[in-house]
Amino acid sequence: MSVNDSFTPKLSCRNLWKLYGPGVSGFLSDESRLPQNGGDGKLLAQSIREQGGIVASADVSFDLMPGEIFVIMGLSGSGKSTVVRCLSRLVEPTSGEILLDGLNLLQASPKELIDFRRYKMGMVFQSFGLLPHLNVFENIAFPLKLQGMPLQDRSARVERVIALVGLEGREDSYPSQLSGGQQQRVGIARSLAVEPEVWFLDEPFSALDPLIRRQMQDEFLRLQQELHKSIVFITHDFLEALRVADRMAIMKDGAVVQIGRPVDLILKPEDSYVREFTNDVPWELILTAGDIASDNAPPEGVREVSADTKVCDLLPYLSEHDSGVAVRTADHSLYHMTGKDVIAALASGMSTTTTAKS
């Protein structure tokens, strides 16, 4: 199998359409209008909407690489949940292909599908989706119990994930007795209990308050460093995306507008919709020393930093050292960067966004 090949996608989503409303299957029956056959996706979606159909997902394609965190962002109603529900086939796609390890998920029989969900996929929901009549331990053990795993193996597995998400000692509590953050830990633990290869998280932290959210993000990143899952992560918070994403897609009206690394989206937004998202992002959070450093050679004796150091981490140092820092790039050449360069870069960022607005 190709699981270990880091250049073959773990999961591929190809030309995915999901329509709601009466008579939806008819809209896509004309194959020649589909984008993969040379049709125009935007026009097609437009005409479907005019005929009264709801286009929840329009020609969405992307690849999820092994061990990658892929973030989907977009406004409310832009189709993020629809896409991720199609990937797990909680929602039946109207058209398209979903390949998991090269196997088409849409052709899986109900039984195969149940097996995929039991052994390969995990999903975390915004509203947790815990079973109110089961305690923490039983909730986490629930998928394992459905698989028919013997009690002893089950307990061992559950103990392990409980430790992983830091819920030791709460095994006997019921969902109603837990805080939101704790409930989501249970949700995460439950989806991890089956040791899935692909992990879907639909706005996992949106229901939590900012402080807890940040803490959970940190823990999520820590977990991922340990587990190396292939992850599709949905959020509408750009800062959250920034923290966790390896790559991300921005969606609008069911279609993907742009896919790329977060920095690419900020520095080279495809259109004003994408720019709106990146507007409020503090640039010092994403700009690295390499992005800002001047072409000049640094003076002797200043502190040396690597090019991928985040600017925000250098601000305290720069404020006290007018002489700036030396930036070492990947090809080992040295450049000079001072507080002034930082200010200039941030100012230019401001001006690009303000011109974009006007």
Partner 1 sequence: MNGNTKQSLYIWSVVVAFTAITVILGDSLGMLSKYPENLALSLTEPLNNGMRWFVVTFGWLFKAIAWVFDWPILFAKTVLHAVPWVAMLVLATYAAYRAKGYGLAVFCAMSILYMVTFGFWEQSLNSFSLVVVSIPLAVAIGFGIGTWGFMSERAYRAIMPTLDLMQTVPAFAYLLPILLLFGFGSTVGLVASVLFAFPPMVRNTIIGLRGVPQPIIESGIMSGATPSQLFWSVRVPTARRQLLLGINQTTMASLSMVVIASIIGGTNDIGWQVLSTIRKALFGESILAGIVIALMAMILDRMTSGFAMRSASLDLAEKKRRQRGWLICGGVVLMTALMAHLIPILSVWPKELIINPAPSMNAGLEWFFLEFRVVLDNIKQTAFFYLMLPIKIGLNQAISPFSWGFSMTPLVTTVYVVLVAVPVAFMVIKGRYLLAVWAALIGLLLYSGLQGVAWTALCMIIIVIGWQTGGRSLAAWIAAGLAFILLTGIWNPAVISLYLCGVAVLIAFVLGSAIGIWASENDKVSVLVRPVIDTLQTMPLFVILIPFVMIFKIGEFTALLSIVIFAIVPAIRYTEHGLRNLSKEVVEAATAIGSTRMQLLFQVKLPLAVPTIMLGLNQTIMFAISMLVITALVGTDDLGQQIYIGLGDGDFAVGMTAGIGMAIIAMIADRITQSISRKMQAKLGIRLEQGA
Quick check: 78 binds Mg ion (CB under 5 A)? no
CA distance 197 to 251: 25
Which single residue is written with the structure tokens 């996929």? Answer: 121
List the single partner that 118 binds among partner 1, Mg ion, ligand ATP, none, CB under 5 to 8 Å by kind.
partner 1
Among 10, 18, 117, 336, binds partner 1 (CB under 8 A): 117
Residues 154-183 that bind partner 1 (CB under 8 A): 172-174, 176-177
Task: Pick between residue 147 and residue 352 the one whose CB is nearest to partner 1.
Answer: 147
DSSP string, 87-128: HTTSS--SEEEEEETTEEGGG--HHHHHHHHHHTEEEE-TT-
CA distance 313 to 288: 9
Quick check: 81 binds Mg ion (CB under 5 A)? yes
Quick check: 115 binds partner 1 (CB under 8 A)? yes
Quick check: 147 binds partner 1 (CB under 8 A)? yes
Backbone angles phi, psi at 92, to 5 degrees: -80, 115
CA distance 185 to 169: 13
Stretch of residues binding Mg ion (CB under 5 A), selected from 74-82, 144-152, 235-243, 258-266: 74-82
CA distance 39 to 35: 4
Q: Which residues contact 139 (CB under 8 A, 6 or more apart)?
A: 130, 131, 175, 186, 190
Quick check: 56 binds ligand ATP (CB under 6 A)? yes
Quick check: 235 binds Mg ion (CB under 5 A)? no
Residue 211, judged by CB atoms within 10 A of its CB (0-12, 13-18, 19+), counts as: exposed
Task: By CB under 6 A, name the binding residues for ligand ATP.
Answer: 20, 54, 56, 74, 76-82, 236
Task: By CB under 5 A, name the binding residues for Mg ion.
Answer: 81
Task: By CB under 8 A, name the binding residues for partner 1.
Answer: 85, 88, 90, 114-115, 117-119, 121-123, 125-135, 142-143, 146-147, 172-174, 176-177, 187, 190-191, 194
